[in-house]
Chains A and B, each alone.
Chain A
């Protein structure tokens, strides 16, 4: 009986080796673009154009980054992006919690129909509402202002949906107990509900924040002057179809990617948990 055992352990070892080989390959595929962005941001374009030699981080300089900031007011646009991201995320989360709470706990009439209406808004492609939103923003005289960038997105059907699914699993008895102890709606939300649905809260916040940070076309559409733009729109001006200065483009990309990367790395365990939250209910 010794031989089969050895065979199966060899087989397990081979399987393990293959698995690790596959994982290593996957890591390279996923991480190479990131490596290229950051290495390229710090390497002069002349070296990048050399091909493979350009991939070695031996000629590091901040030159590309400095030139990128000369083309566009990156500092100001970073500020705008931060304002937009914070406002949009905070409002989306606050409105999401309030709406989901009303839908789940307030025993109002017609909540089911209302919820379906909310869900159906997710089926409408964003492109079709683009002009309508533009005309609304324009009639409020908000074109070329920072609020115009995030106002149409302060409520999101997706966040409401995710919060509703999380709230549905909250035990009704606990809520009754809290109410008996004299907790009001806000007290209940703050002290009991949110701590329990923390993973959902964090993942919704992250998803909203990354979406807000990465927005491109809408910010481009409603802002005209460089000073009111977000950084995503700003870096678009760095690339050029025919005379590409790869280094400068990568420097811009690196500066925009870095904040998202840090946030995602810090909170990735919540992010993955939140995406599947509600999927199996």
Chain B
């Protein structure tokens, strides 16, 4: 075979392949071209899995039915929040961002810094039917934008609470209906439960620094300086060595070192099933774990997150996710349709459905007056969670830290805390974490410009 024949074969094979591929491409890529006159397609990327994914699909199809002929929401799962963030970064560079993006609590700083979204307040300012007071105060302050109003639409809200295993607590001679209210009391109860039942006294999330953040807030302490990133300046470092923080970390250290507390490592579901199967007396974790931790809804008592000081700023930082509307490269019609979708998801009836199906807390205060909401709140445990959310003061400490470097520094802090629960000195370990985190935040701030 001569060189020419071979070259010809190669060329023909190559172009045949390309043709085949472009054929596939043409079939798949015409979804995003919504014309101004026809129905508007809103693409929506989310990170919901399991039962929450099923419920979200139901809500989306209800909305599509309601807006038939005008708006079609095209929802799709995009992996974990970290995956969504990577994918979104890539999409920003190629100009293919979705109309609506779901992002988790701690990525709020990153989303604000990326400046690729239109603040929700742009739409709510023009919408007379929008009620800014329909959110619990701490929810509005968590997602507040620099210009006032909201940066994104809060969708799923959760808070950590204290779960007590009724039978283990009673066996230890304690009354689950007068639960401990401070971390010091929790430590005391944990020792008693461990001593008299042999089960672990308590457990909490250890996969990242979430609990350290929460216990700082529940002592009225800022986690980040300056001002938790809530003032006019960007966050430049972490604050981990205030007397309140050192005290609660020493209390926790003792529990872990002497084997009273169960360290679940990175496996949160192992922690929840240990609680559900009577191996742990108390558990501090998300309100969202309720249905898994206590399927019968009567074996446990849900109490408020323990405080670490009696400061009036003390509160509990919210978690969960919010919905962001893309700005750059998205037409006004698309953004408006996206806003329609978000207000639908915020409406009292939808929030009531969402909360009851997923275990998230309702982000609309009017949910208490809906039929579904009333039914959920008849469970005293759910009512305790709702009370905690409603009563959290909108303080700087309780609003929590906002920095785009949050996902990075969380790993640094939990690394240091893992050494502490192995016996390392609290102050020096946390000083080390403070300086490492300051470098990481500086690197992020330089990159973000």
Any B CB within 8 A of the CB of A205: no
Q: How far is the CB of B384 from chain A (nearest CB, A)?
A: 18
Asked if A134 and B90 sit within 8 Å, CB to CB, the answer is: yes
Asked if B1 and A225 sit within 8 Å, CB to CB, the answer is: no
Binds B, one of A13-21, A112-120, A141-149, A262-270: A141-149
Q: Which residues of chain A are near B86, meaning CB under 8 Å?
A: 130, 221
Any B CB within 8 A of the CB of A32: no
Q: Which residues of chain B are near A142, meaning CB under 8 Å?
A: 21, 25, 29
Any B CB within 8 A of the CB of A51: yes
- Which of the residues B1, B87, B269, B291 comes within 8 Å of A185, measured between beta carbons? B1
Any B CB within 8 A of the CB of A239: yes
Residue of B nearest to A227 (CB): B28
Any A CB within 8 A of the CB of B94: yes
Residue of A nearest to B287 (CB): A242
Q: Which residues of chain B are near A145, meaning CB under 8 Å?
A: 24-25, 27-29
Question: Which of B28, B76, B276, B288 gathers the greatest number of chain A CB atoms within 10 Å?
Answer: B28
User: How far, in angstroms, from A144 to B94 measured CA to CA in the complex?
Assistant: 13
Any A CB within 8 A of the CB of B58: no
Binds B, one of A34-42, A55-63, A161-169, A230-238: A230-238
Q: Which residues of chain A are near B272, meaning CB under 8 Å?
A: 242, 244
Asked if B53 and A224 sit within 8 Å, CB to CB, the answer is: no
**Given A140-B25, A241-B269; A217-B49 close (CB under 8 Å):** no
User: How far, in angstroms, from A236 to B45 measured CA to CA in the complex?
Assistant: 15
Residue of B nearest to A70 (CB): B54
Number of B positions contacting A (CB below 8 A): 45
Residue of A nearest to B17 (CB): A91
Q: Which residues of chain A are near B77, meaning CB under 8 Å?
A: 226, 236-237
Interface of chain B residues 42 through 87 with chain A (CB within 8 A): 43, 45, 49-54, 74, 76-80, 83, 86-87
Q: Which residues of chain A are near B291, meaning CB under 8 Å?
A: 243
- Which of the residues B21, B31, B50 comes within 8 Å of A147, measured between beta carbons? B21
Q: How far is the CB of B31 from chain A (nearest CB, A)?
A: 8
Question: Which of A217, A237, A243 gathers the greatest number of chain B CB atoms within 10 Å?
Answer: A243
**Given A244-B269, A244-B292; A238-B50 close (CB under 8 Å):** yes
User: How far, in angstroms, from A127 to B54 measured CA to CA in the complex?
Assistant: 32
- Which of the residues B1, B21, B43, B268 comes within 8 Å of A242, measured between beta carbons? B268
Asked if B54 and A71 sit within 8 Å, CB to CB, the answer is: yes
Q: How far is the CB of B355 from chain A (nearest CB, A)?
A: 14
Asked if A146 and B24 sit within 8 Å, CB to CB, the answer is: yes
Interface 1/0 per residue, B271-309 and A, CB below 8 Å: 011001100000000101101100000000000000000
Any B CB within 8 A of the CB of A128: no
Interface of chain A residues 119 through 153 with chain B (CB within 8 A): 130-131, 134-135, 138-147, 151
Q: How far is the CB of A59 from chain B (nearest CB, A)?
A: 18
User: How far, in angstroms, from A130 to B93 measured CA to CA in the complex?
Assistant: 12
Q: Which residues of chain B are near A243, meaning CB under 8 Å?
A: 50-52, 288-289, 291-292, 358-359
Contacts A220-B83, A244-B272 known; list 20 others, CB within 8 Å.
A131-B93, A141-B29, A142-B25, A144-B28, A145-B29, A147-B25, A184-B1, A221-B86, A221-B87, A224-B43, A224-B76, A236-B49, A237-B50, A240-B51, A241-B269, A242-B292, A243-B50, A243-B291, A243-B292, A245-B50
- Contacts from A to B (Cβ < 8 Å): 49, 51, 71, 130-131, 134-135, 138-147, 151, 184-186, 217, 220-221, 224-226, 228, 233, 236-245, 248
Give 9 A-B contacts (CB < 8 Å), ordered by A residue: A135-B93, A140-B25, A143-B96, A184-B1, A220-B78, A224-B78, A225-B31, A242-B292, A245-B50
The 9 closest A-B pairs by CB, nearest first: A240-B50, A138-B94, A134-B90, A145-B28, A147-B21, A240-B49, A244-B269, A242-B288, A242-B289
